[in-house]
Structure 1
């Protein structure tokens, strides 16, 4: 299982914060974030148009945007597209999103279940039943997917039901974004704070991962369930509609327990779950998987508390998974055609179902099986999407990378099926082994082949008017109450539809159109092509066909790329009798006069705006109109112009001329009949060929040079003069002329030139200065920026056929354009005093052939190119397949392969295809493996299974598994019953008794019985066995050494070696048992020793007679012989006997002053006594007489 212990889910954090607030607590959200994340950022996303221009702070689908209308109508994005700008750790991302219309199936429902408690009788417990509290359609209008502008390979999965929440993935990292708190429309109006963090930034504790669960099929208790399974297995083969050979759809039942619902809150949990599944779907769309799998929600169930607790058995993942799979089986819709019939169940919980660190549990290769196609997942934030994807991968047949395959080296790079996901990896991917394992099984999962988004819609009638009368069509055209006009009659009612209202029947209206074809116009007749004609079921349809093309017309421009057209008519023949119109368009166009104009460059759009200067009035005034590029890409082929005087933008109410460039950012794509047509730099329509940084078409930047420098100049102080030249005496007709490039005209001071052809130009002041930056076109002398009388203010404008961005911020000016410059520009400053020096930094990129001579500011940059790396695997193992080239990015300087991000994705070569594996294919065959062992040896539930595959044998001796539809004949059975016989009776045995003797040879016995008379099978187990507790003493008995030995009450101590030796004669006559006193002594806490053998017997006798008295405690260290003393307050450490691993125990305080016994007890691992106490053998001469000797 994947270990992604993401402990921070900001939505969850917010719910926690809200709950804490309700409880009267004050929680610092910043501190909470710092405790959960190593790094995070707080940002305020904005809604933008397609170009990234600000629209509003409204983000949520349920918040109606109130954007102020301005002159630029239609600046808001289209409803099916959303655009947002966010800043992620200093990187500006422009998100381009479109609805994920294949995440929620049509008719998918969400159910809220509740628990009903029914009281039982006096002996029964209370019973809980489930009921459906609420049922409604799943939301489908706020899950989006998309990409990021200018970030190749990026993907986004976002939910905007309440703010922005989801995953943003680039080639270098993965991020999660969520609103810091649930908001209102007023909050969004002011801007709403979101938190963004890397997936690797979550603070977590790595832990070992348990092995994945590969359970056998759970035993279902009733024959009815077995029958249902059989029916479902059979029905699964007959699924609905095929989704296509390359498309698989996993229809999901999402089960959510009460712990998840309570954590996220009932009002927010549905949005969160849709976001989570949107991320799971995006993970399965990663190109590294090489199989297109859609994750489709068909049903979502929120469980009640009691049911949630009953399904999850804490610390028992196997039982919990079995419970969840059974529950999902019960929820299944039996009809495979039902819109809520699921292929796979995903269950989410926040309860701990396994050891610490376990995040998921799933069977392997259980997809489409009625009771094995399910996963159990610990929900812990958006990173749980990777847990769900990982566990579902197991069900699809994928193993852990590095376990039984060769992909162990991919785990450290973030493979989805890694056993332990590293916290520091920057992006996920599916390993090569995961893809191969998936392809091995995917063809056998028939339930994934249908498409839940395809429906059998009723076929429309061939003629649309069949179902609508003329009266109904009048109501559609003019409103309620209108009917066919009856105040006058027409020769043919099918020529035009005339309608009138009963309130004014003599006032008839028409929209100058005929009734629909098929409309009844007279008994037995209908309207067809404007004529009332007899109905004829056998009327022959005539489809239309195109006539010949006309010649091309004139070109729309004389140079600089124009367009010319030719047309055709649908008249060969004309469609009739309900026949189809001609397919395609009736015109074609081609580029013409594509060469650049020989004269000075002129902006074609600017020319069209200038033509309006003399006659187009806006707000009762005439203006000087400048070109304007509309931010909405759909309106760039409409002519918009901007007033030089006021900055207002006005629509000129016409399209731009054919051949006008769509955008100043694209020098080749042009407008044709109001639509932008993609043109490559090779001047071919539809071409994707683009220029490199310095204008080489299809180039690799190898000829580009970067020029960078700093220029400083100080104005000359007034009053100082210097001689320039001498005129000879007598000179006549003398003319003096000061060039514009060297003089300070109108206060301008020249700094430097930037040559034509420069691109990506940046000019910036080094520091704040009162001087003002100005730009002049060297060829025309026209001031591009800050001419005479202009204010130095930040703005975006179009001059010289390119777009410029001018920014003034705290007296620091910056000017930028992507170019290319068609003419050289002169960079000047307008000094405000004669003391302050002016320093400008500049940088631009230019082709190496256009670099100014003697320029020492050229910087050599690294260049990269796409290079052939390898060929892909053949698409077919036989009968002719295809393989394609794979390209990598290579550094030109040393020919080393680098990350593909260094190369321009737009310049990646198209794959080259070649044939492979041309040998013929053999006929596929059914291959069966051996039956597995029966699950039971007897009873009614035994079964066995085997693997059945459709296999195609290849010429090189190998084979491959293919889809079962390619094998002929009926598929062999994969499961059968076995050992369905009654189980025989079994012998039952009791526990062994104690040995019959205390030493020497004895017998131990047990009870052996048969439950059914004498019908038990097998040999009867033995009922007795020999035993030998210990060897008996060999030395002869010299008789009892004390009169106490004859006391019957002391006979139980004969098993004690010391006592047996003293009373050998009495003990030999009877078999003793262990004294209760010694059992009591075994539980004592202190160790004491006896003083003499006589004291032992006296003590035992007193204990037996109940007359034992405890003497007074003697002073420490002065006990005389025959007396006994407790050891010092600190007892000696316990001694361990290495032979029998027994632990010394001490007498209870009630017997604390008895003559000392050394008592031993042996203990089992669980702490229960398993052997009797034993008294050490002793001799009177060896007994200590003083406490000091005892301590030694």
Structure 2
């Protein structure tokens, strides 16, 4: 790796000279001039600077808003232009830092305007039309110079409307960018409260931009594992506290108030140039997590980036170290936990105290990120929570020769910013790793620190300055080195032994790793491959159920849970975006909890889809359990089939008798079951309810006069059926998968005995032999109001009938259950229901049985008429109707 050293500045001579500012006449001058002119006389030459305000290193429509007061000092410090009207001779000026460079001249000149705008000194007389200038003729030795930019945090974007660079705008920002390292631009609105205005005065804006430049440098460190650019789009300065959010000592209340208020300052359209993705409040209020517990420096809600209502944070300003607090709170907004949190321990990451350290101590490294932070911000972005950061503005880069923060604010000024006026650097603890300062009373009162490093650029010895907490030679700084991808790692082990697992491979941005502010790699960082796609054996637990069962016996100190608690998967009622989180239900109850942030790779996203979860994201998969496959089951339940292996059976039922009435038997192997019971009045309560029992007659849904009102799932030998609950105008049972045992559909009729309106359909396989149909005189099981069960006589009749030239035999089961005789005594008639049924018991169209003799539907009946005759008195008896219970 070749290192390029920064070019040296050797100043051969210097002069103290003067410059005059030539403004155009205006009856109402602006607080800042979009164009201005300076004349400098030095080294026997006259330099005429024709300058324009340069906001190229900030967002193109970067805006400063003053609430309750006017601007103070220079709103725009930075100017660029030409020298002596020659476009080949350029000038770059910062009126805030007083630095002027003249390029294209022989030799080039470096001038320091000792202006009243500088935060550290003021050597010129107030109101003077002349500006004191220290001019140096400085030939550049070495190669091309690279001067560190103070405000690298703030990008230049042209043109002002961000969507112009996108063509179709935000539509390009789709889920296809998942698992890619892609440039993320965080558009920030920074708000400074009235106490900040009182403390920093006219230097406030430049001071805040200095803080944000440090924040941006922290997020450019390669240890974060992503390419993240911090861009300030708006600065709101609150002069009158009544004009802004209510800021109190209570950190939680202040955060809430600020989050609500910042919404009013935002433009929700992400394509708008003044839209912000997150808002930062910087305050000098001593914020506290509780009364008398004021060790809090900042507060933010976890994982709220891109949420227009909750993407916000507050930070207490205590000097340049506030930049680390801002970076820390933004980390929470990016869903990063503290470095010592349970989540980091669960991820197998040992204690590493970096930006997300919960407290600051000697071992904290606030410039870099822990592996845990890198893991969580990467997962956050890869699972789609950072979509608003995918703006792609046209960025125009400027290498502005601006000073590092430590050059603007010397070490004593840093102490004053942190501990108040009069504080100076501790004479016994001069080091870059920690800033130790005396109190205002003097060194005899001891030294103290907030465990923050000295600002970059602070001198730490002859020819040395501080960089990221280390004292290094000023001359050995290298140019930014962009990162490049290393080789792909081998694919890992399969996440499942059957049913479709996932193997993954990753690569690192380490050939080379970005250095000195160089860009992180862009492109795919993970790839996936399906494995073990064969179906699992019948009877095996559902994969999500296996993951829930691993927590059996763990109650997590939740009140009311027994020590032998059993956990089952929770499917219904989960938001689409949360389908790849592990929600488990307490067996026997409706209570459920999130037990893991994500399910294992290869877990189906739900019971009604082939898609699978990969790295916490629901990805397309086929019925063949292959990732990105488009294979689907046909209506017969055959993966990749053509719908030719089954036929649809459909029918209705609207007979009413008190109690449970059998509708139809759904045979084993049926698929795409859809059963609906329509309320007669269009309201949920119509006294008719669907019920299911298995082939043995045991109820599996709404049995024993106990009806489930709410949505639930029913598992039948591994097949999931969904039930809408009875509290619906259209009560429904549905299932797309194949059932492995016969189900008996019934309808429970109670109350006013309104006629039910049951409509059903399902598909059954077409067997190798041609389907057989029979006439089935059948009246259904009847339950009278007195609870007496009519037991039908069974008549077995054998048939031998040729059908389409194929001879086969089958039996017809005739249930001789006749309806009530038309007369109570004497001779009358009675009827029975006759339907055409297949050998599975399913109702078919009568045309299938047209070739068979139809059994009689009407018969004569006779019963002798009785006469009155008195008998013995019997004892009193009672009958209690069953009570219908809703659950």
Same fold (TM over 0.5): no
In our comparison, the structure showing a higher alpha carbon Rg is 1
Q: Please report the TM-score for the alignment, with normalisation by the length of structure 2.
A: 0.35
Q: Which has the higher helix share?
A: 1
Q: Which has the higher strand share?
A: 2
Query: Taking CA–CA contacts closer than 8 Å with sequence separation of 6 or more, which of the two structures ends up with the larger relative contact order?
Result: 2
